[in-house]
Each structure stands twice: as structure tokens, then as C-alpha cells.
Amino acid sequence: MQLVVDDVSYHAKWLTSYKHQQPTLVCLHGFTSTHQTFAFLTQSAEMAGYNLLAFDLIGHGKSDSPAMAAPYTYQMVLKVIAQLLDQLGLAQVAILGYSMGARVAIGFTISYPERVSRLIIESGTPGLKTSTERQTRRQSDERLAERILTEGVPAFVDFWGNLPLFDTQKNLPKRVRDRVRLERLSQSAQGLANSLRFMGTGSMPNYWPRLASLKIVPVAIIVGERDTKFCRIADAIHHQLPTSQIICVPDAGHCVHLERPDQIAYLVTQLMEGIV
């Protein structure tokens, strides 16, 4: 379904049939992905007790990819998610966010803690701590954005898929790798470029000083054992927020749900039940 906020259209998808009496889990995808990345959750019998809702974030999938910067800024992205939930009559939800989606999920939970019953972060960061780090990252993201616009999406997808961050995905079955590639190829150059420029890690607020405010919300951090960078970030988050829990998935990289879908589906259901 398409929902409109400030003349911008956003795509929302109920992955399961909505039942009013059941709690809702909102799923937020990563960069170059769409709501489809969470379809695997519907294969879990335990998830039948939950409403699963996934959004295509601005610049991705079936959501608009406007030329102007304003809709991509973090302040606007978080405001839009709140308004989309309002349009759907959802006062409070649990949130699962992966990578870029995890960054948005952290920001949303800090900004609207009363609207989040549980936060599940997969391979996410609360941002960069210094202005120098953020400036350097913005410059890097700008170069990538120009590369997308100059060389086109297919060339960028080839480059992106060969980043060391995704090395562990090269061992996945070809049908899985092909599905991921097609999802990435479905994006627009303008949407990806603007997403990097205006809601990349360098452009997001530094949420590290505000992590302690999340102690009122159950927080779980899922990371892949082979993703050493985000394992360190998870440890640092837990140091700032001791009430959080870290779940390290063996022999998995950055995109844990892609490499270990059955295990992640099981973990999500256990977290939703408050068992782990």
C-alpha cells in the first residue's frame, strides 16, 4: 500500500494478515534493499502471533525518490515513520532494523520511546562520535553518490556487492545471491545517491550520548560473529546501555538475516516473547 506524507509517497507492506489483537513488529531494511528482505520471517510458524509490517524507506523500493534533500534528513525520516504509524492506527510497535534500518530504528526509539515496545538492532550503529569522523564519512558518501549517478546502478551494485563487508555472502547459494542482486538493481540512482548524501552514517545525529535514555525499552543487538567491526560497536553500545543484550550469531557476517534466516526468525520470536 502507498501512504502519503507531505506529498511524498511511501510504500508499506503487511507481510502477514493484520489482526487488531496482535502486537506489531515493524521491519526497517538496509541500504540498497527493500521490505522484501524480511519476507523470510513469514516462514516462521512462531511469527503467526504477530503482525509483520515492513516499510520501503525513502529512496528505496516502491517509495518515492525525490530530488530534494529534505525528505531524506533524519529528522524528517523519523517524523514520517511516526506519521505512517498514525495513519495505520498503530500507537506502539516493536521495531527490527538492519544496518541503515537499524540506525533509523535507534533514532526513532530515542525520539519516540513511548511508541516502541521493543528494539531489535541488527548490525547497527548509533552514529559517529566526532564532527571530524562525520565530515570524513560525508565526503566518502558524496563520492559514492556521484559514482552512482555517473556510472549507473548496475555498476554500483557490482562494486557494492564486492565490499569486504559482504565477503561472507559469497558462500551463499546462487539463488540467494541472485535475489539480493535483483533487489539492489531495482533501485533508482537518484534514490540511492540521496540516501547516501542525506541519511548516510555521516549525516545522522550522534546518538551515543543519548543511548542511556533507551533503558526504558528492551534492546537487543544482533551481530554476526565474523563482522568484527559491528561486534565492537555492539560491545560499545552495551557498555553505554548495560540493560541491552548482545546476541552474536556464529559463522555469520554483516547481514545476519540473509545468511542465517531460520536462526534470526527464531531469535526474533524469542525476543518478542521476552524469552531471551
Q: Tens of pLDDT along 130-148? A: 999 999 999 999 999 999 9
Task: Quick: pLDDT tens for 47-102.
Answer: 889 999 999 999 999 999 999 999 999 999 999 999 999 999 999 999 999 999 99
Helix or strand holding residue 107 (H, E)? helix 100-111
Can you tell me the distance from the alpha carbon of 127 to that of 124, in angstroms, rounded to the nearest whole number?
9
pLDDT at 46: 79
Q: Is residue 174 part of a domain?
A: no
* CB burial of residue 270 (10 Å; 0-12, 13-18, 19+): middle
Q: Is residue 265 part of a domain?
A: yes
CATH label of the domain that carries residue 44: 3.40.50.1820
The arithmetic mean of pLDDT across residues 237-248, rounded, is 97
Asked if the model's pLDDT at residue 45 lies above 90, the reply is no
Which cell numbers hold the place of 27?
A: 521491519
- CA dist list (Å): 168 to 93, 141, 232: 32, 23, 18
pLDDT number for residue 163: 93
Q: Count CB-CB contacts under 10 A for residue 79.
A: 17
239 confidence band (pLDDT: 50, 70, 90) = very high
The two most distant CA atoms of the chain are separated, in Å, by 49
What is the pLDDT of the chain when averaged over all its residues? 96
In a domain, 247, yes or no: yes
Query: Considering its fold, how many domains does the chain have in total?
Result: 1
pTM score above 0.95? yes
Q: What pLDDT shows up at residue 158? A: 96
Residue type, 132: T
The answer to whether residue 76 sits within a structural domain is yes
* Integer Cα distance of 229 and 109 in angstroms: 23
Work out the average pLDDT over 14-38. 95
Residue 48 has a pLDDT of 85
* pLDDT, tens digit, 9 for 90 and up, residues 179-203: 999 999 999 999 999 999 999 999 9
For position 225, what pLDDT does the model report? 97
Write the secondary structure of 128-176 as one string of H (helix), E (strand) and C (coil). Answer: CCCHHHHHHHHHHHHHHHHHHHHHCHHHHHHHHHCCHHHHHHHHCCHHH
What range does the domain containing 69 cover? 2-127+208-273
Whether residue 276 has pLDDT greater than 80: no
DSSP-based three-state secondary structure for 191? helix
Residues 6+ apart with CB under 8 A from 158: none
At residue 274, does pLDDT exceed 90? no
DSSP code at position 163: S
In angstroms, rounded to a whole number, what is the distance separating the alpha carbons of residues 222 and 98?
A: 9
Dist. CA 199–CA 69, nearest whole Å = 9
- The count of other CB atoms within 10 Å of the CB of residue 253 is 25
pLDDT band at 160 (very low <50, low <70, confident <90, very high): very high
pLDDT tier, 43 (very low <50, low <70, confident <90, very high otherwise): confident
Distances (CA, A) of 217 to 51, 55, 76, 174, 275: 20, 22, 23, 39, 15
- The reported pLDDT for the residue numbered 177 is 95
Helix-helix angle 189-199:131-151, to 10 degrees:
170
Q: Does the residue 162 lie in any domain?
A: no
